[in-house]
Amino acid sequence: MKTINLGKGHWPTFDRGIENEWITANGLGGYASSTAIGANTRKYHGLLVAALDPPVRRTLLLAKVDERFETGGRTYNLAANRKAGGVCDAGFIHLQRVLVGMFPTFIYSFVDVVLEKTIFMVHGQNTTVILYRVKNGSSPGMLRLYPLVNGRDFHWTTGIGQVDFKVDRREIPGGAGITVRYGSDLPPLLLSCGGSAAFNPREGWFTGMYYPREEERGENPVEDHFSPGFFEVILGPGEEMEISFMATIEDIAPGDCLRGTELLAGERERLSRLVGLSGLKDDFSRRLALSADSFIVRRRSTGAKSIIAGYHWFNDWGRDTMIALPGLTLVTGRYDDAREILWTFARYCREGLIPNMFPDTSGEPLYNTVDASLWFFNAVHKYLEYTGDTGFVLKEIYPALKEIAGWYIRGTRFNIKMDEDGLIYAGTPEMQLTWMDARVDGWVVTPRQGKPVEISALWYNALVILEGLAAMAGEEFSHKGLPQKVKKSFTDKFWYGEGGYLFDVIGGEEADTSFRPNQVIALALPHSPVDPARARIVLRRAWQELYATYGLRSLSYYDPGYRGVYSGDRVSRDGAYHQGTVWSWLIGPFITAYRKAHGYSHSSREQARFFISPFRDHLASHGLGYVSEIFDGNDPVLPGGCIAQAWGTGELLRAYVEDVLEEAPARRGPRGEAQG
């Protein structure tokens, strides 16, 4: 897998240097993240954002570590920081290269000194390690590390005095360490440094760190961080040294703090094994398989795997999980993870609904969605397609699927029920139950009460899948004739003849003629109620009005309600979220629908390859190595939202492997045997 390589041309100025961000995660929901030049520009940036109740209760504990190097009578400041008045530390002038392979590596060069640092997290731990490799020049040198610590929820910001800190020394053989304790229920933070380091206490505050990305979002852009002092490492002339710096809340032995090189090797071996498991051979798909690992986390409340919807700020959502699951776990060969996730959501099924979201704290999950349960059927279908594991599905999942169908027919929460025509009606004017769920206070931005097009298509898809499972189980299908009825109703009622496409929502006083990508989702399902001829007509128009390089617009740019730029405060952003903003995850349904509608012809494969191509460049920008959540609908289609999104990654990878690659990896059965 090729390394993403950035050079000095990417940061001629501070503002250019903060355009690209990196992130590395720990499998618990925690992460380390910042910009390419090391300047924090979001309240969500930090070198240790720990998940105290995995994968949630994410807490900023270590904001950053600023480096200074003294040699030849001069001090070289490698830090990059900005206050409201302007740039106060411009150490990026010494940054020569940024390499993002499995983890980000930063190479600084000044006089005859080369300093390299690699940042990674230990999987399954709230532990961040910075491994420094220093090649000193001809004069004695001294490396000083200044940690900036905090202790707050990652959604908030801190001012002087709002968090109480107490610093104690910690004995570290071959190095130095301190324990930072909080005047709250936060666990103590251990900071340690090898290289025979010494710690110099000098308590103070870095005041007024400025976050431009938060100001753009209408949030508080200024924060203060506590500085406990600095670690100091002395190097002789020409000396080369590896120095391990660790930040952790884990209960570890003092000597383990200095095992940076060993820990890095272990993490690289783990990721190499996972990428190898996928069977993917080309660089693009292997990069996506690598990024997929960051989203798969273990949830403490269920004791099982789940999928984080996106970094930095999303939790694990049921809808996002089911859409992302095929790409993140099945295409990558992580069948055990897929099985565990499906089993967990089946276990939490209530009145025909799987959780839309697990809460940050203990308590009942939220079930306010009409489509998560229907996407669940699709994820199970894909699981069977990849694994052939009928025993697990029939025993553990099939009962839940039957329960879901029964509740949808009889009626369940949130006014979800099957109408006389067999189609699913859902919601009220105050509810947002589909994926277009933006809401500001009492304002439902995209009201879709009634029978949304993708919900009816998902319902038909679910019924066909359920009928097939009944046959596998040797049972009589309880809803005989219903799939055919639903398909006929869909065909008769959703086609908007005057416009030559599908209505977005029916069932109200007037059908919604908004041209949106939801009908493309309907075309892409394994069992679609739309015939290929109509599908081709819809896709041609979608290509003309919705396609925008990195996905599909959420609304045609010819619509009077179209909003082509996603920016500003929450009201402005949510007002554009599903009113024209481009969603990366929709590239998957678009490509799959295109291939299906054109009979999987050679020319359709080449066209699908064209749709994929821009993402090759995108992976080397914005969230380095990751697929962004959204983009502006207007050119130049700038990225926004989360820098790393699960369903964007999953659907891109799934569509690429299933619809573009001519030689996809062999699929495997439930015990891993090759199926061809």
The upper half-sphere exposure of residue 384, i.e. CA atoms within 13 Å in the direction of its Cβ, equals 19
Structure tokens at 570: 């929450």
Q: What is the pLDDT of the chain when averaged over all its residues?
A: 95
**Is the distance from CB of 593 to CB of 539 less than 8 angstroms?**
yes
- State the maximum Cα–Cα separation within the chain, in Å, rounded to a whole number: 85
Distances (CA, A) of 183 to 165, 167, 200, 622: 7, 11, 23, 37
Q: What is the model's pLDDT at position 676? A: 30
Tell which residue, 89, 71, 97, has the closest CA to residue 11.
Answer: 97
Asked if omega into 529 is within 30° of 0 (cis), the reply is no
Greater confidence, 576 or 654?
654
First to last CA, the chain: 24
The distance of Cα 11 from the centroid of its chain, to the nearest Å, equals: 25
Crossing angle of helices 646-655 and 587-597, in 10° steps, is 20
In the prediction, which pLDDT does 301 show?
A: 86
Helix (H, G, I), strand (E, B) or coil at 91: helix
CA distances (Å), origin 411, targets 183, 274, 431, 493, 510: 50, 42, 16, 21, 23
List 89's β-bridge partners, or say none: 81
Least confident window among 53-67, 138-152, 565-579? 565-579
* Residues, the chain: 676
**364 φ, ψ (degrees, to nearest 5):** -70, 135
Report how many helices (DSSP H) and strands (DSSP E) the chain contains, helices first: 18, 35
Q: What is the pLDDT of residues 157-211, one digit of tens each?
A: 999 989 999 999 999 999 999 999 998 899 999 999 999 999 999 999 999 999 9
Which CATH fold would you assign to the domain 281-660? Glycosyltransferase (1.50.10)
- On whether the CB atoms of residues 649 and 285 are closer than 8 A, the answer is no
Instruction: Tell me the average pLDDT across 406-433.
Output: 95
Token output for 62: 């270590």
Instruction: Check the CA dihedral 503-508-510-515 and report its sign.
Output: negative
Instruction: Tell me the per-residue pLDDT of 475-518, one tens digit each, with 9 for 90 and over.
Output: 999 999 999 999 999 999 999 999 999 999 999 889 999 999 99
Q: Which two tokens stand for residue 96?
A: 């020569």
Q: Is the dihedral of CA 444, 450, 454, 458 positive or negative?
A: positive
> What distance in Å separates the CA atoms of residue 280 and residue 285, rounded to the nearest whole number?
6
pLDDT of residue 256: 82
Determine the average pLDDT of the residues in 514-538: 98
* Residue 424 vs residues 154, 374, 419, 517: alpha-carbon distances, Å: 39, 11, 6, 19
Place of tokens 């004695």: 140
pLDDT at 415: 95
User: In this model, does residue 439 exceed pLDDT 90?
Assistant: no
Count the helix, strand and coil residues of the chain and give each as a percent rounded to the nearest 5.
35, 30, 35
- pLDDT confidence tier of residue 38, bands split at 50, 70 and 90: very high
pLDDT of 336 over the 70 cut? yes
- Angle, alpha carbons 222-226-228 (nearest 5°): 155
Inform me whether the pLDDT recorded for 550 exceeds 90.
yes
Residue linked to tokens 């000597």: 255
> Cα–Cα distances in Å, from 494 out to 97, 424, 473?
54, 13, 33
Domain range summary for the chain, segments of one domain joined by +: 9-270, 281-660
Q: How far apart are CA 376 and CA 374, in angstroms?
A: 5
Tell which residue, 585, 557, 583, has the closest CA to residue 438: 583
The CA dihedral of 380, 645, 632, 639, to the nearest 10 degrees, is -150
Q: Are 615 and 550 in contact (CB under 8 A)?
A: yes
Task: State how beta strands 80-83 and 86-90 pair.
Answer: antiparallel
CATH of domain 9-270: 2.70.98
Tokens 């699951």 correspond to what residue?
325
Of the ranges 299-303, 388-392, 574-578, which is most confident? 388-392
Given a contact cutoff of 8 angstroms between Cβ atoms, the answer to whether 121 and 25 are in contact is yes
- Mean pLDDT within 378-396: 98
Neighbouring CB atoms inside 10 A of 203's CB total 10
User: In this structure, what DSSP letter does residue 2 have?
Assistant: P
Work out the pLDDT band at 674, boundaries 50, 70, 90: very low
**Token reading at 146:** 């200044």
Helices marked H in 525-586: 532-545, 570-577
Residue 508: what pLDDT? 84
**How far apart are alpha carbons 116 and 511 in whole angstroms?**
60
Strand partners, 137: none
How far CA 250 is from CA of 123, 153, 253, 455, 567, in Å, comes to 12, 19, 9, 45, 39
541 contacts 607 by C-beta, under 8 angstroms: no
Average of per-residue pLDDT across 83-93? 96
**pLDDT band for position 431 (cuts 50, 70, 90):** confident
Share above pLDDT 90 across residues of the chain, in percent, rounded to a whole number: 90
Given a contact cutoff of 8 angstroms between Cβ atoms, the answer to whether 53 and 166 are in contact is no
* Per-residue pLDDT tens over the stretch 11-21: 999 999 999 99
Query: Residues 534, 178: contact at Cβ < 8 Å?
Result: no
Please determine, for residue 98, whether its predicted confidence score (pLDDT) is greater than 90.
yes
Contact 11, 90 (CB under 8 A): no
Q: What is the 3-state secondary structure (H, E, C) of 606-648?
A: HHHHHHHCHHHHHCCCCECCCCCCEECCCCCCCEECCCEEHHH
Q: Strands 310-311 and 644-645: what pairing? A: antiparallel
**Beta-carbon count within 10 A of 262 CB:** 11
Token readout for 181 is 């304790």
**pLDDT value of position 442:** 80
268-271 long-range contacts, Cβ below 8 Å, gap at least 24?
Answer: 268/102, 268/103, 270/123, 271/102
Q: What is the CA radius of gyration of the chain?
A: 26
Q: Indicate if the pLDDT at residue 335 is higher than 80.
A: yes
Q: H or E segment at 222?
A: strand 222-235
